[in-house]
A and B are shown apart, each in its own frame.
Chain A
Amino acid sequence: MAHGPDKGLSRWLFTTNHKDIGSMYLWFSFLMFLVGGVMALIIRAELFEPGMQIVDPNFFNQMTTMHGLIMVFGAVMPAFVGLANWMVPLMIGAPDMALPRMNNWSFWILPFAFAMLGSTLFMEGGAPNFGWTFYAPLSTTYAPPSVTFFIFAVHIMGASSIMGSINIIATILNMRAPGMTLMKMPLFVWTWLITAYLLIAVMPVLAGVVTMMLMDIHFGTAFFDAAGGGDPVLFQHIFWFFGHPEVYIMILPAFGVVSAILPTFARKPLFGYSSMVYATAAIAFLSFIVWAHHMFTVGMPLFAELVFMYATMLIAVPTGVKVFNWVATMWKGSMTFETPMLFAIAFVILFTIGGFSGLMLAIAPVDFQYHDTYFVVAHFHYVLVPGAIFSITAGVYYWLPKWCGHMYNEVLGKTHFWLAFAGLNITFFPMHFSGLAGMPRRIPDYHDLFADWNMISSIGAFLFGAAQILFLYIVIRTIVSGRKATQEVWEGSHGLEWTVPSPAPYHTFDTPPEVK
């Protein structure tokens, strides 16, 4: 019954195997990570010193827009879906995803979406230049013609995410091995289950808002056009109703990854498993009622401002619980510091710093000074780069031996970590300062007051970029020539994924394992 993979290209085109699809997601997201990274470097090169030297302001705006879109929808989200594809079935003892053909389809429409989005760079009028938040009417009446392609690309990405989520939910709810009760599931599975529900709830909202834009642009409606009786602020409400849960979509699976890694290398069970689950659910719920904290300066009524401020501050509580639990997991462990552990610890520290600036931003009256400055840029890069990117990287180092059967080189891995760690902090920490000093975000040129911090940020960005090339080298080297990995891989590893051989055979758990 079980057979090996097809030969050649058709293996990848027609595969319904969760491991193949997981690998494709991961490679695709790495490619997008590099593309989005190059755009970030163009931005940082222009901002290296005051004056316009390299690009013109319009192209600069295209770069900030495309960088954001590609990193969010092309790098981070597909990477987590890739991890879910690989690990969820292995962790719950299922032979594959519940809906394997749909799995193939949800992956294969992605390259088309991004090809379409990327092609806008070569269109007349240029690529979308209105920021990844694409506020109307800048993104409707005042947008370049390529906005239509952007809209269709978003539709396709949304379809892919929704199908991916349905698949993950169906798999988790129906295909757990006997004895694997919900409250026995690894936290990565839990966080993904909750994330998948978030995705199903908000991706249609995103699809809705871009469709309204499409109607405004081509079919004479005026949803967001004040001159036609529409409301530009409505756009922001709808966008952030999607956008705020979206940031948790990018961070909840990261919580899951870190909650797998810390116990392994502390050789101690995760502290407060059930409160972790409840905290995740609480964060997911709260993420639906805080969207307008992105809009404190749009002129909402005082009452609304207060409600959104309080709700936002409340999120600090379950988030704090998570951080405390991770520290308690490490506490009195017997720790070793292999590369995945280093990334996971850096995650906890740096994500917490991002959480602090988030708490500061939650204070509405002060947000009047922070809003739309580099302080916000620093904040969300601190939660997303060490948050999402570091946890994905940690996950790759952690599970790579299981995927390909080889150990990576520890010295190289640590070098990668320290380069990335230094690069990240040199890039993003100074942004707190330039923001507090008064530098607005999304500007291509600035006063000398901000010059020094910007130069440092730019240097850090190139260092961070270089570190990722090393990462690519390490991964390829591991796949082709690493030392053989054992079945458990790590001394302290626990869970079903470590009960199958390394590399994991093409088909696993054809007969379900027994979970006690």
Chain B
Amino acid sequence: MLSNTKKLLGTPLLASLLVLLLPALAGASEWRLNMTQGVTEVSQEVYSLHMIIFWICTVIGVVVFGAMFYTMIMHRKSKGAKAANFHHSTQVEIIWTVIPSLILIAMAVPATSTLKKIYDTDDADMSVLVTGYQWKWKYEYLGEDLSFFSNLSTPQSQIYEGEARGENYLLEVDNPLVIPAGKKVKFLVTAQDVIHSWWVPDLAVKRDAIPGYVHEAWTRVDKEGIYRGQCAELCGKDHGFMPIEVHVRSQSDYNEWLTQEKAKAAEIAALTQKTFSFDELMAEGEAVYQRACAACHGPGGEGGVGPAIIKSKVATGPIDIHIDVIVNGITGTMMQAFGEQLNEVEAAAVITYQRNGFNNNMGDEIQPIDVYNFKQGN
């Protein structure tokens, strides 16, 4: 009976150890165990605080669990142990109240100073307004007249159809945030719809993006490179699919990038004046639709979180209302205002596509200038 029980105790314990060790033995490369040290002064301070408190806990753990295992082994009835009868000792109790208190005070000192650093957003060299949307980020370079949206760029087929996953699966975007190395960059973080959280582990920056609030955070990265992160606050269906990609470049590369982006923006502004053919609009519209609308309205317009576009009253109704829905959204619902997120060309294209794709066959088309005029209120 006794040996039976022992066996029973032993087997699962061994098995569980094996399960934990097996992968380590297999030598897989991905076994990240610990927090990143990151690439900023703050992230390194945070890392060392993390290690200090970890070792404090480990030491306390060794003492407490050591005592427990010692007594469990030595003071068993089966070994003939007789129970003592003590039940309190003021002295001991005072000791184990005071010592932890002292350790905590010692820990609070460095923690306070790092926290102060995290909060010190003064004297920034530049500022970026970061806005969370369901489910993308918008970056606005303050004082530079440049802003753009940053969407997940991992193809849906990798996520839903089991296609081979890319190297940066779910951590890649179409338009990354680019910042110069060695400069103090201030982030002003807010959100348009629900609460999000902008988190890049290597920078140790995590700030909740909250509608109605603009909160500050900052970083200074000396090492050029690409740093990835994710939205950290549950924000609805595609919370897991709104990554962050930060490119840190030398000042001169950064300047070059800035000039290029501004030129691109000017080009798009010029395109607003241009008249597109029906086919051009439909092709562009399909791309925009799959990128920006399919998540809610279904890739084939069949609906999902949002209503179906097939035979939709809006898509087959008056054009003005349709433009209004896309530009201004439907207040109080998940249908957000796309007026800012899509440029005039994209908006015109996606409207045309919704009215003529999905067998809606309305036979009309919208030009960018129509959207432009609508936005101007005429």
Does A233 lie within 8 Å of B162, measured CB to CB? no
Q: Is the CB of B201 within 8 A of A438?
A: yes
Could you say which of A110-118, A242-250, A316-324 contacts chain B? A316-324
Within B199-217, the residues touching A (CB, 8 Å) are: 199, 201, 204-208, 210-213, 215-216
Contacts of B87 on A, CB cut-off 8 Å? 268-273
- What are 26 A-B contacts with C-beta separation under 8 Å? A61-B237, A135-B194, A268-B84, A274-B88, A302-B116, A310-B108, A323-B64, A324-B96, A335-B76, A335-B77, A348-B68, A352-B61, A353-B61, A359-B53, A359-B56, A365-B115, A366-B46, A369-B206, A373-B232, A418-B11, A418-B13, A436-B35, A438-B201, A442-B240, A443-B230, A456-B23
Interface locus among A166-174, A177-185, A445-453: A445-453
Interface string of B224-237 (1 = CB under 8 A from A): 00000111111111
Q: Does B373 lie at the interface of the complex (its beta carbon under 8 Å from any beta carbon of A)?
A: no
Flag if B162 contacts A51 (CB, 8 Å).
Answer: yes
Interface residue from B5, B32, B68, B170 paired with A446 (Cβ < 8 Å): B170
Whether the Cβ atoms of B171 and A447 lie closer than 8 Å is yes
State whether B100 touches A320 (Cβ < 8 A).
yes
Would you call B211 and A332 a contact (CB within 8 A)? no
The answer on a CB contact under 8 Å between B204 and A369 is: yes
Interface contact B71-A331, CB-CB below 8 Å = yes
Mask: chain A, 259-271; 1 = CB below 8 Å from B; 0 = not? 0000000111111
Q: Which residue in A61, A230, A371, A449 is a CB contact (below 8 Å) of B206?
A: A371
| From A58, A324, A335, A426, contact of B237 by CB (8 A) | A58
With A52-B160, A142-B194 as contacts: A269 and B85 at CB distance below 8 Å? yes
Interface set, chain B 32-48, CB cutoff 8 A to A: 32-36, 45-46
B interface, CB within 8 angstroms of A = 4-5, 8-9, 11-13, 15-16, 19-20, 23, 28, 30-36, 45-46, 49-50, 53-54, 56-57, 60-61, 64-65, 67-68, 71-72, 75-78, 81-89, 92-93, 96-97, 100-101, 104, 107-108, 111-112, 114-116, 118-119, 134, 158-160, 162, 165, 168-171, 189, 193-195, 197, 199, 201, 204-208, 210-213, 215-216, 229-241, 305, 332-334
Beta-carbon contact of B239 and A443 below 8 Å: yes
> Which 9 pairs show the lowest CB-CB distances between chains A and B?
A226-B212, A443-B240, A299-B215, A422-B16, A437-B32, A356-B57, A332-B84, A334-B83, A365-B114
- Tell me whether A360 and B50 are in contact (CB under 8 A): yes
Measured in the bound complex, the distance between the Cα atoms of B215 and A366 in whole Å is 19
- Establish whether residues A141 and B332, one from each chain, have CB atoms under 8 Å apart when the complex forms: yes
- The residues of A that contact B54 with a CB separation of less than 8 Å are 360
Contact A437 B72, CB 8 Å, known A57-B237, A232-B195, A445-B170: no
Q: Is the CB of B88 within 8 A of A368?
A: no
Given the known interface contacts A299-B207, A445-B170, the answer about A414 and B5 at a Cβ–Cβ threshold of 8 Å is: yes
Roughly how many angstroms separate A266 CA and B76 CA in the complex, as a whole number?
Answer: 8
Q: Is A488 an interface residue (CB 8 A)?
A: no
Given that A232-B211, A309-B111, A366-B46 are contacting pairs, would A372 and B197 also be in contact in the complex, using a CB cutoff of 8 Å?
yes
B contact residues around A437 at 8 Å (CB): 32-35
Separation of A299 and B169 alpha carbons in the complex (Å): 30
Give the docked Cα–Cα distance between A302 and B215 (Å): 12
Contact of A349 among B5, B68, B165, B216 (CB under 8 A): B68
Contact A333 B84 (CB under 8 A): yes
Chain B residues, Cβ within 8 Å of A109: none
User: Could you say which residues of chain A place their CB within 8 Å of the CB of B333?
Assistant: 141
* Chain A window 344-384, contacts with chain B (Cβ cutoff 8 Å), 1 for yes, 0 for no: 01001100110011011001111011011100000000000
How many Å lie between the Cα of A357 and that of B112 in the bound state?
19
Are A445 and B108 interface neighbours, CB within 8 A? no
| B81 and A368 contact, CB distance less than 8 A | no
Known contacts A130-B234, A446-B170; 20 further A-B pairs (Cβ under 8 A): A50-B169, A51-B159, A129-B237, A135-B194, A268-B83, A268-B84, A323-B64, A324-B96, A325-B93, A333-B81, A336-B78, A345-B72, A365-B45, A365-B115, A366-B111, A369-B201, A414-B9, A422-B15, A426-B20, A447-B171
